[in-house]
Structure 1
Amino acid sequence: MGTLKSLKEIDVNFQQFCASHGILSIEDFLIHDVKSLVESAEKLSNSDQLKQGVNQLMCILETHHQPWMNGLALLEDRQQKKHYLSTGFESFDVLLQGGLREGHVTELVGPSSSGKTQVCFQVASNVAMKLGSVVFFDSGNSFSPTRIKQIATCVSGSAENQVLQQTLRNIQCHAVFDIYALMNILQQLKLNLKSQTGYQVRLLIVDSISSLIAPVLGGSNSQGYVLMVSVGYLLKELADRHNIAVLVTNHMVSGEGGNLKPALGESWKNIPHVRLQLSWDHASTSCVRILRHPHIASGTSANFMIP
């Protein structure tokens, strides 16, 4: 994605209208409130032309996709640079043949109180203590430094202040309460990773992606769908280009026959490389089951304990 000027289909008058609202790039458009943009257009004499420009740009973004890669390129990508990050749960890592893979977006789905956030804390603590920087997006105001400290102490077997302080220092937490804030920070992170030599993020967590996306879905406005797909591709781009393991959580909703299914629908379903389902048997034992994986059979599962 680039500047609006790079899109030959977009009218110059519409570009100037967008520029007057501080919208110079496609990313600016995505994180702008389209409803307010339309309302501003309606006040002008050429409102029909401007609203047509909004719809046209939405259609262009809706068909936007990542360039295809041939089989050899995919094989080389798999063999080079991509490693696995331990989750801190031995059986979890064994199930995933090493842990969370760098370059992949892994989705953890589960009903309320199934332990998704606790798993995020465990993975974040393990990576921050042993490997390096973690970026944690907290959408529910549930990030707990005290819990991170408790897990780090349990994992390291030590209560040394130096170890705990370094672990907490390596976790950069952002409180985000809407999809626009998430897009904005992800774009800034993308720029930072490009421009800052030696700046590296090993793990990126979004807890939870569904609580940010669900409010903008539905209705006749396609902006929510475009935002969802754009966030998905941005996460995949960050993961692939910078060898980051991305972990997102998603809640579950009622489907046919009352059975629970992951939220966000079919369009989001194809975004994560790996989809895992978490459940809890109320006896302090959690179960993770593979719903989709590039090379591990669906339905395979493992039990683990959350400390």
Structure 2
Amino acid sequence: MQERQNTEEKESLMAPLKTLEADYPIFDSNFQQFCASHGIFSVEDFLVRDIYMLVALAEEHDNSDRLKQAITEILSIMDSQHQSWLNGFELLEDSQKSKNILPTGCERIDAFLQGGLREGFLTELVGPSSSGKTQVCLLAASNVAKRRLGKVMFLDTGNSFSPKRIAYFISNTPEHADNEANRSLPHILDNILCHSVFDIFTLLDVLQQLLNNLTYQIGQRLRMLIVDSISSLITPVLGGAGTHGHALMAFAGVLLKKLAHEYNLSVLITNHMVAGEGGVTKPALGESWKSIPHIRLLLSRDCISNISGMSILRHPCMAIGERVDFTIL
């Protein structure tokens, strides 16, 4: 019963406004026309709109009171989609549920992270260029695929996905001799789904479609979702004084955490570094994004020794500042 109710709520969120008029008479043809003129066709579209600006535009119409009343109803529907509050006991129960851990394939990283990347969590790799973020993503994807643990979806935002590198990781493991690797490589690569995503709107479309597929159990078991890199999609829309870009960023964060939590995926994203006060670098996307990932790992690399480092910036079970050195050949 609860599952059916959740499905109906999701369908309500994504449904075109005109299909909701029967249940919400306030969403009449005048309101639908007003929304369509501003590129809004579903309740979900309101998540990426500046509501204050929309209200100001509504005030220019003769029926402004009714339009604003409909906007308020929309906000009420969106608010009803929020995850309900949990008490301490419920939070403890959730934390004690069996959460699978997907090994990355790097022994030192896996030992450091108490097994690897956790399902049900959004893990973010932050670090400067050439610190190894993409290499960790490719290694983790190849390891999940070659172990046939399930499907991996790799969202490539900057042509970083390398089938040759994946093949190298697969063939250079003890359990895959060269001949065996060559024979099984096509089947292993079938477990990695790669999509090119070059703007935030395409990302939101892909994530929403993925939610729909998982909701209705379309496709085989997905275990890991990788976005390399999230910051390259969000940074271009954060400029200016408006809230539009921040709304898009928040919505992307909500969808990623929803995918991780509700469908027990290991979601792995990368983020670059920017200059902060006093010339000290810091993760991009600012304070608003800082609290979104469950786990934040800082990567660094010594270009002379080719040794990389991983430090804890945020983790539910590990102390901030803990560090391990590793090498990915």
Mapped contact 2:226–2:269 kept (Cα < 8 A): yes
With over 3 angstroms needed to count, the CA separation of the structure-2 counterparts of 1:238 and 1:266, relative to structure 1, is same
Q: Indicate which of 98, 110, 116 corresponds to 1:99.
A: 116
Q: Indicate which of 205, 216, 224 corresponds to 1:195.
A: 216
Q: Deviations over 1:226-277 (max 9, x none)?
A: 1111110111111111110000000000001100000000110000000000
Within a 5 Å distance, the mapping from 1:1-307 to structure 2 comes to 2=13, 3=15, 5=20, 12=28, 13-19=30-36, 23-30=40-47, 46=61, 66-130=83-147, 131-155=149-173, 156-159=175-178, 160=180, 161-196=182-217, 199-282=220-303, 283-307=305-329
Quote the RMSD (CA, aligned, Å). Answer: 3.3
Shift of 1:23: 4.0
Q: Deviations over 1:65-114 (max 9, x none)?
A: 54322222222222224111101111111211111110000000000111
Q: Distance in 1 between matches of 2:133 and 2:67?
A: 41
With over 3 angstroms needed to count, the CA separation of the structure-2 counterparts of 1:59 and 1:195, relative to structure 1, is closer
Mapped contact 2:43–2:74 kept (Cα < 8 A): no
With over 3 angstroms needed to count, the CA separation of the structure-2 counterparts of 1:272 and 1:227, relative to structure 1, is same
Structure 2 residue matching 1:275: 3-state secondary structure: strand
Mapped contact 2:152–2:192 kept (Cα < 8 A): yes
Paired AA for residue 166 in structure 2: I
Q: Deviations over 1:131-184 (max 9, x none)?
A: 110000000012111111111111343232332112211000010000000000
Paired AA for residue 154 in structure 2: F
**TM (normalized to structure 2)?**
0.80
Structure 2 residue matching 1:177: 3-state secondary structure: coil
Q: Distance in 1 between matches of 2:154 and 2:290?
A: 22
Q: Distance in 2 between matches of 1:226 and 1:210?
A: 15
- Of structures 1 and 2, the one with the larger relative CO (CA 8 A, separation 6+) is 1
- Which structure's CA Rg is the greater one? 2
With over 3 angstroms needed to count, the CA separation of the structure-2 counterparts of 1:197 and 1:20, relative to structure 1, is same
With over 3 angstroms needed to count, the CA separation of the structure-2 counterparts of 1:258 and 1:55, relative to structure 1, is farther
More displaced 10-residue stretch of structure 1: 77-86 or 232-241 = 77-86
Q: Distance in 2 between matches of 1:57 and 1:142?
A: 43
Mapped contact 1:14–1:53 kept (Cα < 8 A): no
- State the aligned residue count: 300
Q: Distance in 1 between matches of 2:47 and 2:116?
A: 33
With over 3 angstroms needed to count, the CA separation of the structure-2 counterparts of 1:242 and 1:57, relative to structure 1, is same
More displaced 10-residue stretch of structure 1: 189-198 or 230-239 = 189-198
Gapped regions of structure 2 (runs ≥ 5): 1-9
Mapped contact 1:58–1:223 kept (Cα < 8 A): no
Q: Deviations over 1:193-225 (max 9, x none)?
A: 111267321000000000000111121221111
Q: Distance in 1 between matches of 2:308 and 2:284?
A: 21
Paired AA for residue 297 in structure 1: A
With over 3 angstroms needed to count, the CA separation of the structure-2 counterparts of 1:54 and 1:217, relative to structure 1, is farther
Q: Distance in 2 between matches of 1:280 and 1:47?
A: 62
Paired AA for residue 328 in structure 2: I
